[in-house]
Amino acid sequence: MNTSTSSGATLDTGIAPFDFRSIPNFRDLGGLRSGARQVRPSLVYRAGIPCFASETDRARLVDLAIADVIDLRTTSELELYGTAEQLGIGVRVHHLPVIVTTWDMVEATTKDLEEDPVQFLSAQYARMFDEGAPAIVGALTVIAGGRPTLVHCTAGKDRTGVLIAVLLGALGVSDAEVADDYALSEAAMPHLRSLLSSASSQPIARMEQLPVAYGRSPREAMLRTLRELRRQWQSPERYLIDNGLSGATIAELRQLMLV
Query: The whole model's pTM is what?
Result: 0.90
Confidence of residue 201 (pLDDT cuts 50, 70, 90): low
Overall residue count recorded for the chain in this entry: 259
How far apart, in whole angstroms, are the C-alpha atoms of residue 112 and residue 92? Answer: 38
Q: What is the DSSP letter of 40?
A: P
Taking 80 as the threshold, does the pLDDT of residue 31 lie above it? yes
How far apart, in whole angstroms, are the C-alpha atoms of residue 84 and residue 58? Answer: 10
Q: What is the DSSP letter of 41?
A: S
Confidence of residue 249 (pLDDT cuts 50, 70, 90): very high
Structure confidence by residue, pLDDT tens digits, 92-147:
999 999 998 876 555 556 777 778 899 999 999 999 999 999 999 999 999 999 99
Q: What is the DSSP letter of 144?
A: T
**CATH at 175:** 3.90.190.10
Structure confidence by residue, pLDDT tens digits, 149-161:
999 999 999 999 9
3-class SS shares of the chain: helix, strand, coil, % to 5: 50, 10, 35
Parallel, antiparallel or unpaired: strands 92-95 and 68-71: parallel
Taking 60 as the threshold, does the pLDDT of residue 34 lie above it? yes
Domain that holds residue 188: 2-257
Taking 50 as the threshold, does the pLDDT of residue 189 lie above it? yes
Residues 6+ apart with CB under 8 A from 176: 6, 223
Domains held by the chain: number? 1
